[in-house]
Chain A
Amino acid sequence: TQLLEQSPQFLSIQEGENLTVYCNSSSVFSSLQWYRQEPGEGPVLLVTVVTGGEVKKLKRLTFQFGDARKDSSLHITAAQPGDTGLYLCAGHLGKLIFGQGTTLQVKP
Chain B
Amino acid sequence: DSGVTQTPKHLITATGQRVTLRCSPRSGDLSVYWYQQSLDQGLQFLIQYYNGEERAKGNILERFSAQQFPDLHSELNLSSLELGDSALYFCASSSLIGSQSRQYFGPGTRLTVT
Residues of A near any B CB (own CB < 8 A): 2, 29-31, 40-45, 48, 50, 88, 90, 92, 94-101
Contact = CB atoms under 8 A, between A and B. Distances in A.
Interface residues of B, number: 22
Contact of A42 (B2, B56, B98, B100): B2
The A interface, classified by DSSP as helix, strand, loop or mixed, is loop
Nearest to B58: A95
Interface string B86-114: 00001010000011101111111000000
Interface stretch (B42-50, B65-73, B75-83): B42-50
A44 B33 CA distance: 15
B107 A40 contact: yes
Interface of B: 2, 4, 33, 42-45, 48, 56, 58, 90, 92, 98-100, 102-108
Contacts of A29: 99
A96 B103 contact: yes
Contact of B100 (A31, A40, A41, A44): A31
A98 B99 contact: no
Contacts of B2: 42, 44
Contact of B43 (A30, A44, A94, A98): A98
Contacts of A92: 98-99
